[in-house]
Amino acid sequence: MAIGNTILQGVLTWLPVEAPENHSLVLQFGALFAVLYYLRYDFGFLLLNIIRGRFGEEEKFFVYATLFTALIGLPLLKLTEFPNLAILNFLIGVAILLTWRRTTDGELGFMEAFIVGVAQGMAVLPGASRMALVLGMLLLRGIEAKKALRLSLLVSIPYIMGSMLAGTCEPPLPSALLSMVASFLAGVMTIHLLFLLADKTGSPGFRLVFGMIAVIGWLLGVVI
């Protein structure tokens, strides 16, 4: 049952739905390794360019989005009580469904970095899905689906690293390693399927499916 919950968490982490609350460092390590593995070349080139001072469109976006995430997310982490914000996942899903046919001519600039940073910072609050807020905002800004997906995953790396600072005590080592592997494999599989969906359906199809998952996920949460 514990491994089943770990796999479920590993899948839901990358979908626009409310994931079960679990701040285990093991699960977060699994999620971090999953995105680092899948986007190892993208992240490597991005980091190398930043270190060398070569700031293109995506490098600027990454830095600004990470900065605004910290500015918004760190103060929110100190809040002890806050209402469940799963309704945001639903509202973003509805907005995407209403605009799923729009053209993908959006540009990646400072405003997109600001919006994504604020959205990702808010994802620390109960019920809010990071993927719904971050990827959803990029899609609503008209960014092409595959590019939006890749960027949302790249900015998740510093976000997860920061979230790991709030991790709790871990179970015994063998159990921890098994859970980490399960979370990693579930994450890699889910990320791969998302990119496959973007490739096969294009931006309109991806937005349609993404919006439906967000809406249905919220409705199931209400019913269950």
Full residue range of the structural domain in which residue 218 is found: 23-223
Residue 124 lies in a domain: yes
Residue 142 lies in a domain: yes
Residue 131 lies in a domain: yes
Q: What is the count of structural domains for the chain?
A: 1
Q: Is the CB of residue 149 less than 8 Å from the CB of residue 193?
A: no
3-state DSSP assignment of residue 124: coil
Residue 7 lies in a domain: no
Q: Any idea what DSSP says for residue 168?
A: B
Residue 139 lies in a domain: yes
As to burial, measured by CB atoms within 10 angstroms (0-12 exposed, 13-18 middle, 19+ buried), residue 165 is: exposed
- Rounded to whole angstroms, the Cα distance separating 139 from 210 reads 10
Residue 112 lies in a domain: yes
Residue 215 lies in a domain: yes
Encode pLDDT of 3-44 as tens digits: 888 888 899 999 999 876 555 677 888 999 999 999 999 999
Encode pLDDT of 159-189 as tens digits: 999 888 765 445 546 667 888 899 999 999 9
Residue 10 lies in a domain: no
Encode pLDDT of 65-100 as tens digits: 999 999 999 999 888 678 889 999 999 999 999 998
